[in-house]
Amino acid sequence: MKLCKSFTRNSAVMFAVMAGLTCGCGGSDELEVHYGVSRGRLGRDSISGTGVLVKLFRDSGHQVVSTSRLSSRLEGQDTIIWFPQRGAPTDEAIEFFDAWLSSQPHRTLIFVNRGFDAQHLYWRRAARMADNKELEASLRRRGAEALVEEIAKRRDMDKVESCAWFTMRHDRGFPSVCTDLRGPMLTGADHTLADLHWAEKVEFSPSHYERATLLANGNIPIVTRLSRPDWYDSKIILVTQSSFLLNLGLTNRQNRLLAKNLIENCESPTGIGRVAFLETDSAAVRESTDAPQHSPLSLFFHWPLSLPFWHALVAGFIACSAYFPGLGRPRPAPRAPLADFGRHVDALGQLLAETRDEDYARARLDEYLNYSQNESKSHKGITRLRKGSPQ
């Protein structure tokens, strides 16, 4: 639906700044709601995308890439931000990240539990900007439908999901607004103006993980740091709900300050952090060995074919260079033959053309023809005298 036509001019501008991505202004009838996408058009336009978060990382001096699987390429990253669509990490994923965290110091894994669907909030905010009751009612109805759909999805989820890192309990009712924010991540932010929603409660059973709460709503953890002695100053940051890290949530200035404080927890020994956004449909990810694919041409780069190949390549380059006009031994340019009478005719024609006088040129040609005819008659007479014939 095209919303821009029914908004006042100022409301439309505010709406564009708030959502950054309205479907009506872009000429599309569909609202982009793809979750956790960081790259391309969806990462930028989806209200549940992470394109704005990627920009915040880059503005902080980090180098950002995106991937959809676990592989050896992640060994070169200092920070991994994982936005799974649903579920707790599998044992295979936990084993991979345990090895990744313990292999290098000062690494950070940010696991962002979905815990939030931005669609109903989007329509509710849009309804507040409508300039007539009919449009406001229509937008509120769409928001209510989106909320009912979200609650229905939650009822299909397992109420409790557990892994070695945590136990997540899903609230199957309405998402609640965080009204009692506290913790060190609030530095520089006004907790009364921040806009966060939660529907999950995380529990940590006694284990060998050390934990510290960075942000909480009362006594309910929202952002928690997990560490372990054998990780050598590496850590996991568990975010139980994603509302303040998605594109729509980051239109709130206080939410952006919270995201920047989260980024500051991603330290890098080199000063320039290398960050990978991991996007998966679930918390069970595919592991890739990144085995190299050899082409037939790669045979020429291995012994024994590599020796004659490189020699032939260098010899061919030298041979081609010798025949190239700008290289090789200098050769004299071929001379034009002086006995070619046609060249004299061409030269005379060019000289006559430069006079730009047609009468003069024709007079010279007539003069030449008369002279040629007289010369021909004289030549015939001399020939007859030589043969002894009478004149």
Which residue type does 275 have?
V
207 in Cβ contact with 166 (< 8 Å): no
Give the pLDDT confidence score for residue 18 in this predicted structure.
46
Which pLDDT belongs to residue 57? 92
pLDDT of residue 129: 84
* pLDDT at residue number 25: 42
Q: pLDDT tens-digit profile of 110-156?
A: 998 877 777 778 888 888 888 888 888 888 888 888 878 777 776 66
Could you give the residue ranges of the DSSP H alpha helices within the chain? 9-19, 40-45, 51-59, 91-103, 119-128, 133-156, 253-264, 306-323, 341-355, 358-386
The SS3 assignment for 110 reads strand
| Length, in residues, of the chain | 391
Distances (CA, A) of 387 to 326, 384, 391: 61, 5, 11
pLDDT of residue 286: 56
Residues of the chain where predicted confidence (pLDDT) is lower than 70: 1-29, 154-159, 170-175, 198-202, 204-207, 269-271, 282-304, 324-330, 336-341, 375-391
Report yes or no: 231 and 102 within 8 Å, Cβ to Cβ: yes
Model pLDDT, residue 118: 76
| pLDDT value for 6 | 36
Tell me which residue of 299, 196, 287 sits closest to 244, measured CA to CA.
196
What residues does each domain of the chain span?
A: 4-288, 346-385
**Model confidence, pTM:** 0.64
Q: How far apart are the first and last CA of the chain?
A: 113
- Are 236 and 163 a contacting pair, CB within 8 Å? no
